[in-house]
Amino acid sequence: MSLKGLFITGTNTDVGKTHTAVVLAKTLTSNGIQVIPRKPVESGCNFENDQLIPADATALKLAASYNGLLSDVCPFRFHECTSPRRAAFLANQVLTTRQLADVCRFGAEQGFLLVEGAGGYYSPLSEDGLNSDLAEELGLPVLLVAQDVLGAINQVLLSVEAIKKSGLELRAVILNQVKGYQMPDSVSNLEELHPMLDCAVYTQPYNEQIGDNDMPADLIQLLTR
């Protein structure tokens, strides 16, 4: 089954994938596009009323105005703040890439499938695979997210090489600005990456409220084509 959608991955953990996914989901929804949000596994979840609540998946569900269940968005949740594969192991559970892919595909033919990975592109995700393996299984175009900091160019180029090795289409790279971080005046990751890549590169301003800024119309058009 060929799906229309996007796989969001990062150069590392905590680079702003969820922020980017939420901005994208809100923008698409406001433009009348039905978003099917999926973050199939999330670790580092907190307990509320004896239930593990996935914060990232919850934000994604709300941003997409998704009428389905939170368990559809993220059925596999773990408390330990480590890779999903390690967290599952510590919880005496076994996750497979096929299980995660099936979760993503369920009901996805009804709209635009927006899948957020966990950690970086080569971060461990399941017992038998990495984020890259899930991306390959789904076959969706990829959006790469990085922090706009010194050293980002190396991280982006390594991730881009890995994505291309997977045979997937890289639609764009987004550089997330970081609160309180002062980039040296002589450095511009955006300007340096443009001639190095054959995909679009954008910066995304920091916002205290997750998903509160807008995504440029040309980027939206590129990501949904």
- Residue 162 CA, distance from chain mean position: 16
Would you name the residues annotated as active-site residues? 39
Q: How many domains does the chain have?
A: 1
- Average pLDDT of the chain is 94
Residue 1 confidence class, pLDDT cut points 50, 70, 90: low
Domain of residue 176, CATH code? 3.40.50.300
pLDDT of 87 reads: 97
Q: Is the pLDDT of residue 69 over 90?
A: yes
- Token digits of residue 104: 């993503």
pLDDT of 179 reads: 84
Q: Which of 33, 49, 221 is nearest to 112 (CA)?
A: 33
Which pLDDT tens digit goes with each residue over 153-186?
999 999 999 999 999 999 999 999 988 888 888 8
Do 67 and 94 touch, CB atoms closer than 8 A? no
pLDDT of 210 reads: 52
Q: Which of 169, 141, 159, 156 is nearest to 201 (CA)?
A: 156
Alpha-carbon gap, residue 173 to 203, rounded angstroms: 8
Which pLDDT tens digit goes with each residue over 79-107?
999 999 999 999 999 999 999 999 999 98
Alpha-carbon gap, residue 111 to 37, rounded angstroms: 10
Counting beta carbons within 10 angstroms of the beta carbon of residue 115, is it exposed (0 to 12), middle (13 to 18) or buried (19 or more)? buried
pLDDT of 183 reads: 83
Task: Domain of residue 168: give its range.
Answer: 5-224
